[in-house]
Chain A
Amino acid sequence: MSDLLENVLLPVASEEDARTSARALTSHDYGTVTVVHVIEKADGAPDKAGVEQREEAAEEMFEAARAVLGDVETEVRYGSDVAETIFDAADERDSSAIVVTPRGGNRFVQLITGDVALHLVTDTDRPVVVLPDDETDTDPPDTDE
């Protein structure tokens, strides 16, 4: 095992993303994994979806990750800046690397949703490992509607 994947932080954004990222990780040697989902807060205004609703969605993502990775640690975090919140989680756990898989999507979609992965790579203070999605072909068609 390389030291890089010794203590991995695996941020996930959706159930499909959790499955893909977890699967991508299993093709490498890795140590401990923490799966984290950030609930984006509007910072002083009503959020686009209820907190309880997104906590339930986070649980589904964790379940999808566990189905691939086994019993791993999971955490829900809250923050108005998703990338910053992921960095905070990595700092707290002293993660060796943040592992992401590209989510695709055309420029328009990335423009209106903000590209968290790009933000992670450009503003980082620790290694960010971008793993390819192993089974791109078998993704259900609903990934990027």
Chain B
Amino acid sequence: MSDGELAKDIGPLAALTIGVGTMIGAGIFVLPRTAISQAGSFAIVAFTLGGAIALLTAFSASELGTAMPKSGGAYYYVNHALGPLFGSIAGWANWLGLAFASAFYMVGFGQYIQQIFGLSAALTVGPVSLNPVKLIALGGAALFIAVNYIGAKETGRLQNVIVVILVAILAVFTVYGGLRADPSNLPPTAGFTDTMTVTGIIFVSYLGFVQITSVAEEIQDPGVNLPRAVIGSVLLVTAIYALVLLTMAAAVEPGFINALPTEQIAVVEVARLLLGPIGAIAMLFGGLLATASSANASILASSRINFAMGRDGIVSESLNEIHPRFATPYRSIAITGGLILLFIAAGTVETLASMGSVLHLIIYGLLNVALIVMREADAEDYNPDYSVPLYPVVPVLGTLTSLGLIVFISPLVIGLSAVLVVGAVLWYFGYARSRATKEGILSQFILSRSDEMPDAAVNAATGVQPDGGNYRVMVPLANPEHETDLITLASAVAKQRGGTVVATHIVSVPDQTALAGAAERADEIDETSERLLASAKEDAKTFGVDVETSTIISHKSFEAIFDAAKSHDADLVVMGWGPDSHGSPGRAESAMDELTEAVPCDFLVMRDRGFDPSRILLPTAGGPDSDLTASIAKLLQAEYDSEVTLLNVADEGGRDDAEAFLEGWATEHGLDDAALRVETGDVETAIESAAEDATLLFVGATEEGLLRRLVGGSVVLDVVDDVECTVVLGEKHRHRGLLERLF
């Protein structure tokens, strides 16, 4: 078996239990009372109708899942087909929808615990009276968040066992109920609107099947097993729900359920009536297992969605850091956990269930639209193993029923959901648009046929496209002397990348001066700033690149540069370094101690002796930092027609290897026309002698922490001081900035 196959270890039965285990939860163990009291015997219709709506979407999810077995499931398909604007809506809806659903499951869990231990008195702490159900729910949620934060592979296998137990308990319940069923017991039927309202609330019982697609990449033979698991799980739970509801409606006297005191759980009481105390105990046990496993599965699924969103640039990638010890996506789980706790504290059972329902109905609607787009756009690499029956009837009906059901849910919940959707749209335009990496199939389709398509569609598609992330080059300026050279280098890079230059005047004041005091001298600073930034603007303009300017007053200039690079979203920082820029090395040392090794974005540090890019020397031994300097050298070559020389310093006798390495490296970095030079002996001496012919020397940091090395006096620095040409040191961002230390 190849490794690729080893990664896929979820068999057909396990795939089915993911769906069934996520769905059989608080929905059937908590909501039947609400359903029967509001819809009478049509509660059965409500659960069956919910299943039918879910089934339509299950067909579409199966086709998309077999075509794209990727982490992230529903979110991934919507983002892929409809682009990052809808991807943003689907991602947030899916993430928050799972958090609401988990909160709902945990409140159900709380009710079962309360019932088992007979806690009923509200706990009073000072003036605050706390509901015991909510307290238990909060505690339970914290427990399951912790389990997922630490990660235990055993919980996954436990899930399979739990599902079998649940199905068995519910089967026995319905068989006994069926024996005692009497049609004359059925409560009166409710009207259309009441039935639909109930369907909207109980739809939270049908959220699990899409979670199967979010682990599609781990399923064996997904072409066959995924559709079977997705569709099979919906059919199975719909049948179970309908039979359980039938039992509850027909096997007990009408009015029995409505007459129960509120703290009693209807399913448990019906089981007690039918099977005696054993029935009640089994049902209590089942309710605990079901709510816990649903919540657990949902927390796990939400981190997959976060991962997929981060990969597409909809949320920060830093959310998806894997814990070095637990190997879990701990940040994602911590944030999801925080949301769950918040929702438990704030919402009622019905609100939480309805929020989970509505947000998922939105995703299901979009998912069906995504399927139609994939089919119609006839995308090249779209080859699903499974096809939706009766296309286009099924996905069109799926869209209409999913979105249509939302209408019947309470206005408050619809309003809250609308706020979240608008929030996701604003999030796209405010945050994700410049970072999103994928264009949807839909906009590609529209834009590639811009002649045939209505103008409005073309404009709309253009209007919401990701803008590819404007490449931003920040230049911290400390004194006027080197301003032109720094701006020139930055502008040349920005011009080649079609980006923007951000000129930032960093005014460093001694520690003894309060920042407020410095601000009082604002006029003076303003004047210097204005002059400096104005000339920076002029210099950048000669390249025709966009310029932004800002002024920052700070005690510690290096730290200020790091902060500014982050707040200005810089992709690259071009800064000067030397005895007279940003403080002398001796003075900067104290500030340096507080910096982590990593830089927040790519850094170029220039020891300026006049900017002349005509003959560039680029010593390299491979590694990410010389990748950065190579790409900058290539940009300068395109702008100035520079001669580039690559240098490798080899051991005595390693010449041939070194030449082969340089050739390969040059091709890899698009510098085929560069001269190759191999020297032997001392690295430092070799670079110095080679630099005699050069006007510009690029040096990659030997490893992380170039800025530290600047003050440390390592090999790199001696070279900087000993050569006569301008030296540019490059350090590549390694996705491990200061922010990442938060957790």
Question: Which one of B9, B215, B300, B704 has the highest number of Cβ atoms from chain A below 10 Å of its Cβ?
Answer: B9
B326 at the interface (CB under 8 A from A): yes
Distance in angstroms between the alpha carbons of A44 and B154 in the assembled complex: 10
Given A45-B157, A78-B7: A51 in contact with B741 (beta carbons within 8 A): no
B324→A45 contact, CB < 8 A:
no
Q: Report B184 CB to chain A, min CB distance, Å.
A: 46
A15 on the B face (CB < 8 A): yes
Q: Are B743 and A145 in contact (CB under 8 A)?
A: yes
Could you tell me if B623 and A67 are in contact, using CB atoms closer than 8 angstroms?
A: yes
Q: How far is the CA of A105 from the CA of B323 in the complex (A)?
A: 14
Choose, from B46-54, B124-132, B144-152, B274-282, the stretch at the interface.
B144-152
Least Cβ–Cβ distance between B155 and chain A, in angstroms: 8
Contact of B3 among A52, A63, A76, A109 (CB under 8 A): A76
CB contacts under 8 Å to B, within A14-64, are 14-17, 39-54, 56-57, 60, 63
Contact B157 A50 (CB under 8 A): no
Closest to B151 in A: A48
B9 A54 Cβ-Cβ under 8 A: no
B703 near A68: Cβ-Cβ < 8 Å: yes
* Chain A residues closer than 8 Å to B155, beta-carbon distance: 45
- Binary CB contact string for chain A from 110 to 145 against chain B (1 if under 8 A, 0 otherwise): 001100000000000000000000000000111111
Contact (Cβ within 8 A) A39 B7: yes
Which residues on B sit within 8 Å (CB–CB) of A56?
A: 311
**B327 CB contact (under 8 Å) in A13, A44, A60, A112:** A13
Shortest distance in angstroms between B246's beta carbon and chain A's nearest beta carbon?
32
Q: Which of B546-563 contact A (CB under 8 A)?
A: none
Alpha-carbon gap, A99 to B735, bound state (A): 27
B704 touches A46 (CB 8 A): no
Task: Judge if B456 is at the interface, Cβ distance under 8 Å.
Answer: no
In the complex, whether B304 has a CB less than 8 A from a CB of chain A is yes
B324 touches A143 (CB 8 A): yes
Other-chain contact of B6, A48, A50, A63, A79 (Cβ < 8 Å): A79
Judging by beta carbons under 8 Å apart, are B327 and A54 in contact?
Answer: yes
B11 within 8 A of A: yes
Please report the C-alpha to C-alpha distance between residue A104 and residue B145 in the assembled complex, in whole angstroms. 25
Cα separation A109 to B159 with both chains bound (whole Å): 25
**Nearest CB of A to B649, in Å:** 14
Residue of B nearest to A49 (CB): B329
B458 to chain A, nearest CB (A): 34
Among A44, A70, A79, chain B packs the most CB atoms within 10 A around the CB of A44
A71 at the interface (CB under 8 A from B): yes
Given A49-B327, A50-B71, A71-B622, is A42 in contact with B156 using a C-beta cutoff of 8 Å?
A: yes
A43–B9 touching, CB < 8 Å: yes
Question: Complex: how many Å from CA A41 to CA B311?
Answer: 22
Chain A residues with CB below 8 A from B18, complex form:
45-46
Q: A47-B153, A78-B7, A79-B6 are in contact. Are A13 and B215 (CB under 8 A)?
A: no
**The residue from A41, A42, A80, A140 contacting B597, defined by CB atoms under 8 A apart:** A140
A-B contact pairs, 8 of them (CB 8 A): A45-B156, A45-B159, A48-B151, A48-B152, A48-B326, A50-B72, A51-B7, A52-B311
- Identify 8 new A-B residue pairs, CB closer than 8 A, beyond the known A43-B157, A49-B327, A50-B218: A45-B18, A45-B159, A51-B71, A67-B623, A67-B704, A71-B622, A78-B7, A113-B150
